[in-house]
Structure 1
Amino acid sequence: MGGASEAKFLLNKDGFGEFLGHVSLENNGGFASVKYQIGAIEVDEFQKIQVKIKGDTLKYQLRLKTNKSERHSYVSYFETNGEWQTLELPLHEFYPTYRGRALELPKYPGKFLEELGFLIANKKDQNFKLEIEQISLI
């Protein structure tokens, strides 16, 4: 999209996922993201998504898609505190956005999950690092 941010996702020496890099404001940038298509998982019986993460005191988004071909994502923000955290994010609170703008559509319908991802978009030129131990539906 023209920005100059850099990001990567890897498995660290402890076996945890790491989403890390540098957010640049150059060239209309200001965000970095990673996403993973997981196939169609039925989520009707679940109420929340639980993430075990360790962040760098920055604010992130967890992003869900009910269908990988949808242009919009359903998002929930969370803040990290520099320590390991277990967050439980209610599925019914994820709301639809497209390119950073909230949409006038219903919140996450809770039928299927085909893609999930993380995004950082704090409108600051900054390094970031988010470790991910586990993501589960509860």
Structure 2
Amino acid sequence: MRLIPMSSRLLLTSLLLMPYLLMTQGANAKMQGLELLAHPGHWEIVNDGVMGGRSQSRLSEALTKQQEYILRFSGQVSLENNGGFASVSRSLNHEEQHTLKQSNPRRISVEALGDGKRYQLRLKVLKQGQLVGYKAGFTTQAATDGQWSFEPSDFIETFRGNDYPERASPDFTQIIAVGLLIGDGQEGDFELQLREIGIQE
């Protein structure tokens, strides 16, 4: 994980931000009118309730004082009933998947106002006809803007709570979904104000 080079060209910028048509230059062809809607309904919330836990999370839209659009991922993590995590996930549509396959994505960037807690950037990647999960962690500072950049080597394969660091890194051209998760025994309220999630060359 490293700081984001400002000169990087975005392939799929602001997966959750900027609710208007995006004009950008891909690796081999120009993308015109790629619509990346910001509505929270494009995301799926998955909390520990699937295992009997009591954690809660929500997504909401807001504007900063500078009139910047943000998506707020917030809620409460509970350790009751063997729970302890909250997450959201956004599937890429067919056009976005095609863009990745025709390009050379090398990093994923996250920009957010933190709360001092640790989060995981989650991926679902198509590998030999199967969906495989990967994770990479990042730590925020309370009430502080942060930027994080992740390369394939920053991710480790994970499945139902078990990690497999010895396995190969993900192929970013095969990303099917991007998500965020908070867990690691961090009980209590959380709030991450997301300004950008982008997949870059």
TM-score by length of 2: 0.63
Which of 42, 46, 58 in structure 1 is aligned with 2:100? Answer: 42
Q: Which amino acid aligns with 2:85?
A: F
In terms of fraction of residues, the more strand-rich structure is 1
Give the Å deviation of 1:81: 0.9
Match of 1:27 in 2: 81
CA change 1:93–1:124 in 2 (3 A) is closer
Could you report, residue by residue, the CA deviation over 1:21-46 in whole angstroms, capped at 9, with x for unpaired residues?
A: 00000111011001111132526512
Bigger RCO (CA 8 Å, 6+ sep):
1
Q: What RMSD in Å do the two structures reach over aligned CA positions?
A: 1.7
Which amino acid in 2 is paired with 1:48?
R
Structure 1 spans left out of the alignment, 5+ residues: none
Please identify runs of 4+ aligned residues in structure 1 that moved more than 2 A: none
In the TM superposition, what whole-angstrom CA distance separates every residue of 1:41-85 from its partner, at most 9, and x where no partner exists?
Answer: 526512111111111010000001113x62x41110000012111
Higher helix share: 2
Pair 1:75 & 2:135 matched:
yes
Whichever of the two has the greater Rg, that structure is 2
State the 1:130 CA deviation.
0.6
SS of corresponding position for 1:42: helix
TM-score in terms of structure 1 length: 0.89
Hey, what does 1:97 align to over in structure 2?
Answer: 158
Does 2:144 correspond to 1:86?
Answer: no
Number of equivalent positions: 136
**Unmatched 5+ stretches in structure 2:** 1-50
